[in-house]
Amino acid sequence: MTARKSADLRRADIVEAVLDLLASTAPEHLSTLRIAAKVGVSQGALFRHYPTKDDIWRSVMEEVEHRAQRAWAKAAEIGGGPCDRLRMLCLAQLRLIEQTPAVPALVMAPGRHVAENSVRPIVLRLMAGLMDRMVALARQSRAAGNLRDDLQPDDIAALLLGILQGLVLRWSLSGRGFDLVTEGDRMVSLQLRLMAPSRPQEVSCD
């Protein structure tokens, strides 16, 4: 490998540096000078790879989106019924956030950085992708008799998504003071049991 990193590798380093920094720094306080120092390059070199800060934010969010899609796809490969896969999808999302604490800072910070117009469409696409998967699995779970047939798949997904968002907010505000995936498993499993038919002993969401 040459002493000078390729442009693609250097851009990947920059994205990773931003994700690391966002774990402890609010988006609006993250300067290009600090990003450059984290990567170990000059500010001028940083702008050769990303001409504007807007370009950096966009690339970071695209990386988050790719990681999320990989996590969701992996959860879909797990065996079991649709209710099991729905639960595992929820946990995959929480695991992604636990492993990449920058995600809440990017997704839950409207109006806090100048690249919002570039970032927001990716955030909305990311949330829509998760919601679509949850709705599909909720529909399959209801058809399989795992969840009550008087519940709409969209409502099931919205309830579960609300649990995830509430957990992430509580986790962030507590300084990541509890295991996000463990607590998420407990809360999601509880919600699924509450949405099970009247004879829950005949079904399993565990």
Domains and CATH numbers, the chain: 57-202 (1.10.357.10)
Residue 105 main-chain phi, psi, to 5 deg = -65, -35
DSSP strands (E only) in 45-156: none
Q: Is the pLDDT assigned to residue 199 strictly greater than 60?
A: yes
Which of 4-13, 43-52, 80-89, 111-120 shows the lowest mean pLDDT across its residues?
111-120
User: Contact 10/35 with Cβ under 8 angstroms?
Assistant: no
pTM: 0.87
Nearest to residue 185, comparing CAs of 81, 87, 106? Answer: 87
- The string of DSSP codes covering 3-72 is SSPPHHHHHHHHHHHHHHHHTTS-GGG--HHHHHHHHTS-HHHHHHH-SSHHHHHHHHHHHHHHHHHHHH
Single out the residue of 173, 179, 152, 164 nearest to residue 126, CA to CA.
164
Q: Distance between CA atoms of 106 and 178, rounded to whole angstroms?
A: 21
pLDDT, tens digit, for every residue of 88-146?
999 999 999 999 988 888 876 655 555 567 788 888 999 999 999 999 999 999 999 99
52-74 residue pLDDT tens? 988 999 999 999 999 999 999 99
